[in-house]
Structure 1
Amino acid sequence: MLPAGKLPTDVLERLLAYTSTAPELHVAAGAGEDAAVAAGAPVIVLTADPITFTEERIGAYVVAVNANDIVAMGGRPVYLTTTLLAPPGTTDTRLEEVFADIGDACRTAGMLWAGGHTEVTPAVNRIVVAGQAVGFLCGAPLATGGASPGDLIGMSKWAGLEGTTLIARERPGESEAVLGGERYRAVLDWLDRPGISIIAEGKALEGLALTSGHDPTEGGIAMGVHEIARRSGCGALLSADRIPVRDETRLLCSRFGLDPLGLLGSGAFLFTAPRVVAREACRRLETAGIPAALIGEMLGRGEQVWIERGGRRELLAYSAQDEIVKL
């Protein structure tokens, strides 16, 4: 077990073997190095996101959520650095599992892990990893606030993807009882298949004239649409029966009293575009084997955000606090 403070040098050197080496990294991660030095680009995309909701498969989560932010801006994720905080008593074996998970996830995402900082501290009661990512941008940025009235709203995969697999991990006994063994194991596998990354969406939609893009994380699809509408100065109207929600998500949300539309949404990509472009976007996604749906339309300036259920229109409820905190 490791005491509070910096890691022993021999342990750190063993762990840093999981970070990246590549020609782009002029100075890679190393025990005693203050920083990495890497090749750049004229325009870069910067983001940062921590993982605080879970410790299991935390490496896969931290890579995906940071890469997704860059893809949602129209960029290509390139570099990742991490700040890992672990409570006293954490074993070096457990840290090695986390390092291996981050390394595997970076290779899958095509990113270079340039190191960061790792420390044991009583400030946390479980492992927390904060990621900071850099991406390269070739064209114009795809901002959240670029939507216009009349644009269609589309999304990939389904609502609550990340939250559903997280519920299954955090509440395994109850989740398996609700879903049954086979579906429970399938939901656990959602983290990798289809995965909570939207890098494949970015590649499929490259060069398409979308007006906005967004990675719906905390607050789910509902919060994501509200953020697009607010940043764009428009209203929006969603059609409830067009929003893809898997039966497994509905069952778990019903069991724990959660709203699927307010559940952690990483893995889905929200976008807006004129009608012809939006339909082409869905066609490209489906061709790439990624489920896609057109779920609504942007309304006029100053309008509110609505959802239509069974022919009846109501305001779309949302909260910056994700439904997962109710567990």
Structure 2
Amino acid sequence: MQAGKLSIAELRRRVLGYLGQERPEVAVHAGVGLDAAVVDLGGDLCVLASDPITGAVEGAGRLAVQVSCNDVAAMGAEPVGVLATVLLPEGSGPEDVERLMQEISRQAQALGIEVLGGHTEITSRVTAPVVVTTAVGRVQRGRLVTASGGRPGDGLVVTKGVGIEGTAILAADFGQELAGRVAPEVLERACRFADELSVVGEALAAARLGATAMHDVTEGGLYGACRELAAASGVGVELWMDRLPVRPETRAICDAFGLDPAGLISSGSLLIATPDPEGMVRGLEAQGFQAFVVGRLVPEGLWRVTKEAQPGSGAQRRPFPENEEDELWRFLRSR
């Protein structure tokens, strides 16, 4: 089996049928496109999400905190803390553990959250560092947003751009290979994308602005986020390819390696469904966040449209790529 996430079909078949004993305190259970669970223990709702970092070498500790907190914030919840599990390969030393913990702590401080605990270990079972974080957040009753709330007719908004995280990883880890193919100043800017991988601020703002559903754009890129939001909401997606916000740095690196930016891992981008996409963009931009209308939810199907679908526009509709593998994993597998 290829590296990367299970397909939606395999996830349903191999994972989601084995969830133990259902508990009445669980308000949002595990499901396709639902990256966080919600537990009702009285008072505010408790939101929990867990994520591993396996595809990055540089900045893994910082990224681990960001991605799990992104999942919590995409439910409209304020992150409170994280639990961190750090697994390092044999040959690593205590200083390597400390370096990762320093990264984790700095990012936690930046988000105003606490490291609640976890586990650290050097083990022969891994050949590269693996960092897993579980984020804990809270949200008031009535303020919860899930990936299952989208409805046909809702517009789709994306923040920042597509392929943000993948661009930073490729620039940092394969800079020497890109030298001569991508200008040095482009690579330098691309590496700085790693400073933009949190969506906590825009997710909490989007929740206040009336988002009906949200999903952070991680493995599988924008295609993957659309698939998962569509599956959770029981709808289809029309993605307007000509309007995707692909930064010049992302375009240059993807062209050099033959990658599709819309399928590239993209922590730092948030996918938002809303009945008023233009109003959402204005509201987010007023708070300092970049946002772009990129499509809409439709009754069924997953479609790439080369022009905005309007009568007489000559729009061409093609289905999403059949292969759900992230472009980063496809690239790494080819090395």
Q: Provide the TM-score with structure 2 as the length reference.
A: 0.81
Seen in structure 2, the aligned counterparts of structure 1 residues 307 and 49 have a Cα distance that, compared at 3 Å, is same
1:151 maps to which residue? 154
Corresponding letter in the other structure for 2:44: P
In the TM superposition, residue 178 of structure 1 has moved relative to its aligned partner by: 2.5
Corresponding letter in the other structure for 1:149: P
In the TM superposition, residue 319 of structure 1 has moved relative to its aligned partner by: 4.0
Bigger shift: residues 216-225 or 250-259: 250-259
2:131 maps to which residue? 129
2:86 maps to which residue? 84
1:308 maps to which residue? 305
In the TM superposition, residue 80 of structure 1 has moved relative to its aligned partner by: 0.3
Tell me the C-alpha RMSD between the 2 structures: 1.7
Aligned 8 A contact 1:55 1:128 in 2: no
Hey, what's the Cα distance between the residues in 1 that align with 2:76 and 2:58? 29
In the TM superposition, residue 239 of structure 1 has moved relative to its aligned partner by: 1.1
1:260 aligns with 2:270: no
What is the CA deviation profile of residues 41-65 of structure 1, one whole-angstrom value per residue up to 9, with x for unaligned ones? Answer: 6310011000001221111110110
1:248 maps to which residue? 249
Alignment partner of 2:164 out of 139, 161, 177: 161
Aligned 8 A contact 1:86 1:124 in 2: yes
Hey, what's the Cα distance between the residues in 2 that align with 1:236 and 1:219? 15
In the TM superposition, residue 168 of structure 1 has moved relative to its aligned partner by: 0.8
In the TM superposition, residue 214 of structure 1 has moved relative to its aligned partner by: 0.4
1:326 aligns with 2:322: no
1:52 maps to which residue? 54
2:227 maps to which residue? 226
Hey, what's the Cα distance between the residues in 2 that align with 1:256 and 1:41? 50
Hey, what's the Cα distance between the residues in 2 that align with 1:263 and 1:221? 7
Hey, what's the Cα distance between the residues in 1 that align with 2:116 and 2:216? 24
Question: 1:258 is paired with a residue of what secondary structure?
Answer: coil
1:217 maps to which residue? 218
Seen in structure 2, the aligned counterparts of structure 1 residues 318 and 131 have a Cα distance that, compared at 3 Å, is farther
2:291 maps to which residue? 292
What is the CA deviation profile of residues 200-239 of structure 1, one whole-angstrom value per residue up to 9, with x for unaligned ones? Answer: 2024334222110001111000111121112212122111
Aligned 8 A contact 2:153 2:297 in 1: yes
Hey, what's the Cα distance between the residues in 2 that align with 1:235 and 1:306? 8
1:269 aligns with 2:270: yes
Highest Rg: 1 or 2?
1
1:238 maps to which residue? 239
Runs ≥4 residues deviating over 4 A: none
What is the CA deviation profile of residues 301-320 of structure 1, one whole-angstrom value per residue up to 9, with x for unaligned ones? Answer: xx211111153111122544
In the TM superposition, residue 245 of structure 1 has moved relative to its aligned partner by: 0.6
In the TM superposition, residue 142 of structure 1 has moved relative to its aligned partner by: 1.0
Corresponding letter in the other structure for 1:188: C
2:75 maps to which residue? 73
2:105 maps to which residue? 103
Aligned 8 A contact 1:262 1:319 in 2: no
Alignment partner of 2:177 out of 174, 177, 181: 174
Seen in structure 2, the aligned counterparts of structure 1 residues 218 and 318 have a Cα distance that, compared at 3 Å, is farther
Hey, what's the Cα distance between the residues in 1 that align with 2:128 and 2:233? 38
Question: 1:314 is paired with a residue of what secondary structure?
Answer: strand
Hey, what's the Cα distance between the residues in 1 that align with 2:269 and 2:247? 13
1:94 maps to which residue? 96
Bigger shift: residues 223-232 or 198-207: 198-207
Hey, what's the Cα distance between the residues in 1 that align with 2:129 and 2:304? 38
Hey, what's the Cα distance between the residues in 2 that align with 1:42 and 1:272? 24
Aligned 8 A contact 2:77 2:204 in 1: no
Q: Unaligned 5+ residue runs, structure 1?
A: 1-39
Aligned 8 A contact 2:48 2:135 in 1: yes
Q: Provide the TM-score with structure 1 as the length reference.
A: 0.83
Q: Unaligned 5+ residue runs, structure 2?
A: 1-41, 308-314
Corresponding letter in the other structure for 1:117: H
What is the CA deviation profile of residues 261-298 of structure 1, one whole-angstrom value per residue up to 9, with x for unaligned ones? Answer: 110011011011112xx222211221222211111111
Hey, what's the Cα distance between the residues in 1 that align with 2:178 and 2:289? 26
Aligned 8 A contact 1:59 1:99 in 2: yes
